Structure 1
Amino acid sequence: MDRAKILRWLQSETTAPARNLKRQIIRFRQHSDYKHFLEIWSKAKAPAALKKRIRHLPLIRGFVIPQGDWPQRAIFGNRIWVEDDVPVTVDSSVTKSALVENGIPWGVQKIKAPLAWSMTTGHRVKIGVIDTGVDFGHPDLKQSLGRGINLLNRSILPHDDNGHGTHIAGTIAAANQLHGMIGVAPRSMVYPVKAFDHNGSAYVSDIVLGIDWCVSNGMNIINMSFGMKTRSKSLLAAVNNAYNAGVIIIASSGNDGKRKTVDYPARYPQTIAVGATTRLRRIAPFSNRGSYIDIYAPGEKILSAWLKSKYNEMSGTSMATSHVSGAVALLLAYRPGLSPGDIKAILKKAMVPLRGTKVPKLVGELDIMRMLQSIER
């Protein structure tokens, strides 16, 4: 790499007017090249405006750069991999305002979480929820939240301006026994990682930074209730690094009703891919399905926490994913030290067959009591 050429490029980006250009992710093939560029970048003393446009992705030895006038190959030669920094969305769901009824939503009951609470409540298990943030003022979540991080504005807390992230956090860890709802693992801790804006949109690079934060801050589980149709090698590299660090990644399969495919990152074998079921233990019509699914969980008309201390009913594989994250938190508190591979094997061994004549017999629905009992055998 030509040091002078890199410095000229950085200087050109510093003086260039703000442009609404596409972004690209570059990853270095060799660790030595990455360290060399990082040294140049650090010593260049780039202003804050440039730091926003050229962002460091340490987990994957990469950077986000504007797709500007300088061709990347002219600067880096064949020493890098390049891909577009494409948009990602939270799994869209129909929402409906609702009131708390008996405190334990039907999905939490269905997977038999209450029967497990005498043995495990998820105590001290840390779950990173990469999503739209969380309502820190919600009475059902006050005891269940860590500070987390706001990747869109690091100077403020990851407040939720969409609602999706608060709903996910409620199913996992809500703990208001007297007046509100109870989630699957009421003594686990959710750390909101705000990567998605008020529209529920993010970029692959935001997700990579979120995974990086979760690994660096000792999360046991990462909940990924979002998806994309295209394969990203940068996202796969981040998922791989988290998996190798012992972090369990649980991802939603998508809401397109497809029978032979699922969204990324759920499609990666290093994740636990979750499909959605109805109250009747049938696959929900909207849920993606097929051989990539590892387990199903309740995902239709799920009541959980919402913005302004309210509650909402939502449907989607996002909701199913949060049930599985809570269940894995119960399992990890009960039996610490299980690897991501161990967890997936236990979930598959303990699942309950689904209803329906055309449903494959090799996949089933989450059952927490069977899951806990299976590790005693």
Structure 2
Amino acid sequence: MDYARFLNFIQEKTGAVASKKQRTIIRFARPAAYQECLRQLNRMKRSFPQMRLIRSSSLLQAFICPFSLADLPQSCRKGLILEQDAQVSVHAVPASGMVTTPEIPWGVRHIQAPDVWSSSTGYQVRIAVIDTGADFSHPDLRHSLARGVNLLNPNMLPHDDNGHGTHITGTIAGAGSMQGILGVAPRATIYPVKAFDHNGAAYVSDIILGIDWCVRNQVDIINMSFGMKSKNKSLFNVVNKALQAGVVVVASAGNDNKSRSVDYPARYPQTISVGATDRSRKIARFSNSGPHVDIYAPGEKIYSSWIGGRHKEMNGTSMATSHVSGSIALLLALRPDLTPTEIKQLLRKSARPVLSARKRSARGGISPSEVNALRLIKRGAP
């Protein structure tokens, strides 16, 4: 491969960038080629500051360019895999306006998390929430948040300008005062990974860089409450690498009321895919379901933290996913040796059957079932 010509072409394109709406993910077939090209790129960044727009993922061994490379010469394509970047959206919708919440929301009680807290509160379990960020000043979250990373503005903390990430974080690890809420694993540590903008939209490339950051920073769980309809090989590869690194990846199934399909990345077998239930332990009316869903959890009218120190009620498989991530944290605090595969098996074996005429088989022909933190700990704890 002609590295110099390839990088000179990228330099010219970078200088002409006017919009970030078109992006390209460039994967290198050979690790040595990626390392050599990265070395040359870093050297060029000192002379050509605009080249700093080119980001890299060591986990995926890829460059991410904020423009289309459809016109990249064939002579520069040898050993490269080019994929157009795609947009991703969060999996939640408002259920109502701002509300006054109870200390322990119904979903947290429903999965019997409080019955586990005498044994485990998720202490020292590291959970990355790839989302819109978090409200660092929220009373519920002050003791739950680590610094995390802002992929949209690396010089800033991952502050939430949407609300979705704060809501997810509160359900997983809220540890508020009497006026606040308690999450499923109130002593777990949340690492907000801001990949989504104020509209709840992101690019696949930002998700890839987020997962890359999570693996490098040795998190235990990645919560991914978002999805897209189309396959993406780069996303698949990086999720697979996270699994190989021993990270548990929990992903929401989507809110399209589909019975045989779920969104990506939840559809990848390397994830724990989560559908939503209501208070009656029935599959929620909006939730995707069927053979690609591993487990269900409360996702309808879920009370949790919101930006500005407030609280809000939301619907979505996003909300269900946060209950599952919190439950896994309770288990990992007691059994840090468990692998992602073992955790998925324990979740299924300890779950309670879904009560619904809308029952559809989960992965592997297993009947749909709902997470139960108490049963999970009893089955999985030493």
Distance 2:231 2:69 in 1: 26
Q: Which amino acid aligns with 1:375?
A: G
Deviations 1:146-192 (A, max 9, x none): 01111111111110000000000000001124221100000001110
Distance 1:11 1:314 in 2: 45
Distance 2:99 2:125 in 1: 29
Verify the 8 A CA contact 2:255 2:288 in the aligned structure 1. yes
Q: Are 1:363 and 2:365 matched, yes or no?
A: no
Deviations 1:185-232 (A, max 9, x none): 000011100000000011000000100111111110000000000011
Choose 3-12 or 280-289, whichever is displaced more: 3-12
Verify the 8 A CA contact 2:11 2:51 in the aligned structure 1. no
Secondary structure, in 3 states, of the residue corresponding to 1:49? helix
Verify the 8 A CA contact 2:95 2:315 in the aligned structure 1. yes
RMSD: 1.7
Secondary structure, in 3 states, of the residue corresponding to 2:181? coil
Secondary structure, in 3 states, of the residue corresponding to 1:128? strand
Aligned counterpart, 2:71: 71
Verify the 8 A CA contact 2:44 2:51 in the aligned structure 1. no
Flag structure 1 segments of 5+ consecutive residues without an equivalent.
none
Quote how far apart the aligned CAs of 1:369 are. Answer: 1.1
Aligned counterpart, 1:327: 327
Q: Which amino acid aligns with 1:264?
A: Y
Distance 1:138 1:363 in 2: 35
Q: Are 1:243 and 2:248 matched, yes or no?
A: no
Secondary structure, in 3 states, of the residue corresponding to 1:88? strand
Secondary structure, in 3 states, of the residue corresponding to 2:346? helix
Q: Which amino acid aligns with 1:197?
A: D
* C-alpha distance 234-109 of structure 1, shift in aligned 2 (>3 A): same
Q: What's the TM-score once normalised by structure 2's chain length?
A: 0.94
Distance 2:229 2:35 in 1: 32
Choose 335-344 or 32-41, whichever is displaced more: 32-41
Secondary structure, in 3 states, of the residue corresponding to 2:325? helix
Verify the 8 A CA contact 1:98 1:303 in the aligned structure 2. no
* C-alpha distance 7-369 of structure 1, shift in aligned 2 (>3 A): closer
Aligned counterpart, 2:363: none
Secondary structure, in 3 states, of the residue corresponding to 1:37? helix
Distance 1:193 1:7 in 2: 29
Verify the 8 A CA contact 1:223 1:249 in the aligned structure 2. yes
Secondary structure, in 3 states, of the residue corresponding to 1:72? coil
* C-alpha distance 17-163 of structure 1, shift in aligned 2 (>3 A): closer
Quote how far apart the aligned CAs of 1:20 are. Answer: 5.0
* C-alpha distance 325-86 of structure 1, shift in aligned 2 (>3 A): same
Quote how far apart the aligned CAs of 1:48 are. Answer: 3.5
Distance 2:314 2:338 in 1: 31
* C-alpha distance 118-10 of structure 1, shift in aligned 2 (>3 A): same
Quote how far apart the aligned CAs of 1:373 are. Answer: 1.3
Aligned counterpart, 1:48: 49
Verify the 8 A CA contact 2:20 2:67 in the aligned structure 1. no
Verify the 8 A CA contact 1:255 1:286 in the aligned structure 2. yes
Secondary structure, in 3 states, of the residue corresponding to 2:374? helix
Choose 39-48 or 302-311, whichever is displaced more: 39-48
Aligned counterpart, 1:202: 202
Q: Which amino acid aligns with 1:50?
A: M
* C-alpha distance 303-68 of structure 1, shift in aligned 2 (>3 A): closer
Distance 1:70 1:364 in 2: 46
Aligned counterpart, 1:284: 284
Aligned counterpart, 2:125: 125
Verify the 8 A CA contact 2:92 2:319 in the aligned structure 1. no
Distance 1:343 1:68 in 2: 40
Q: What's the TM-score once normalised by structure 1's chain length?
A: 0.96
Aligned counterpart, 1:167: 167
Q: Which amino acid aligns with 1:334?
A: L
Aligned counterpart, 1:143: 143
Quote how far apart the aligned CAs of 1:36 are. Answer: 2.3
Query: Identity, % of aligned pairs?
Result: 51
Quote how far apart the aligned CAs of 1:50 are. Answer: 2.6
Secondary structure, in 3 states, of the residue corresponding to 1:114? coil
Verify the 8 A CA contact 2:276 2:287 in the aligned structure 1. yes
